[in-house]
Amino acid sequence: MNTELNRISLMKLADGQKGVIITIIGGRSASKRLADLGLTPGTEISVIGRALFSGPVRVEASGSRLVLGRGLASKIIVELK
Partner 1 sequence: MTDERRINIVLAGQGNCGKSAVFNFFTGLRQHIGNWAGKTIEKREGTLYYKGYTIDVLDLPGIYSLTTYSEEEVIAREYIIHHQPDYVINVIDSSNLERNLIFTLQLLELECPVILAMNMMDLSKKKGMIIDCEKLQRLLNTPVIPTVASHGSGLTGIIDKVIGLQGVNKAPRKMKYGKEIENCVKQLSPGLDNNGFPYPARWMALKLIEKDNDITRLVNETYPEIIEKAGVLTESLEGIHGHDSSIVIADERSHLASQIAREIIKITPGKKISLNDRLDTLTVHKFSGYIVMIAILGGMFFTVFSFGNWLSGWFETIFKEWHILWLNNIGSSLLAALGWSAIESVLALVQIALPYILPFYILLYTLEDWGYISRISFLMDNLMHKMGIHGKGCISFIIGLGCNVPGCLSCRIMETRRERFITAILVTLVPCSAVSVIVFGLVGKYIGLLWALGLYLFAMVLIFTAGRISSRFLVGEPVELIMQMPDYKTPQLKTIIYQTWDALKEFIYIAAPIVIISGVFIQAINLAGWMPAISSFLSPVTVTWLGLPAITGILLIFGVLRKELILVMLAAYLGTANFADVLNAQQMITLAVVSMFYIPCVATISVLWKDYGWKKALTICIIEILFAILLAGIVKRFLDIVF
Q: Note whether 16 binds partner 1 by CB under 8 A.
A: no
What is the SS3 assignment for 10-52? HHHCCCCCEEEEEEECCCHHHHHHHHHCCCCCCCEEEEEEECC
* Start-to-end Cα distance in the chain: 13
Q: Note whether 7 binds partner 1 by CB under 8 A.
A: no
Selected from 2, 4, 14, 28, the binder of partner 1 by CB under 8 A is 28
Size of the site for partner 1 (CB under 8 A): 36
The contact set with partner 1 (CB under 8 A) reads 23, 28-38, 40-43, 49-56, 58, 62-72
